[in-house]
Structure 1
Amino acid sequence: MWNKDTKFKITNQLPANQIGDDYILLDAKATKTHELNEIGKIIWTQLQSPKSIKELSTSLQDTFDIDRETLENDITDFVGKLEQLKLISIDE
Structure 2
Amino acid sequence: MINSQMISLESTVGQVEGNIVSDMGGEKVMLSISNGKYYNLGEIGGVIWDAIEKPLTLRELIDNLLNEYQVDREICEQQVLSFLEMLLKEEIILIRS
User: Structure 1: where are the runs of 5+ without partners?
Assistant: none
Q: Which runs of 5+ in 2 are unaligned?
A: 1-5
Task: Give the drift of 1:13.
Answer: 3.7
Determine whether 1:38 maps to 2:21: no
Distance 2:33 2:93 in 1: 16
Task: Give the structure 2 partner of residue 61 of structure 1.
Answer: 66
What letter matches 1:4 in structure 2?
L
Number of residue-to-residue matches in the alignment: 92
Aligned-residue identity in percent:
24
Q: What RMSD, in angstroms, separates the aligned Cα atoms of the two structures? A: 1.4
Once the two structures are superposed, what CA deviation does each residue of 1:54-92 show, in whole Å capped at 9, x if it has no partner?
Answer: 111110111111011100111111111111000001247
For 2:78 and 2:23, the matched residues in 1 are separated by 26
Q: TM-score, normalised by structure 1?
A: 0.89
For residues 2-54 of structure 1, the C-alpha deviation after alignment (integer angstroms, 9 at most, x for no partner) is 31110011112411111112211112332211101111111111111111221
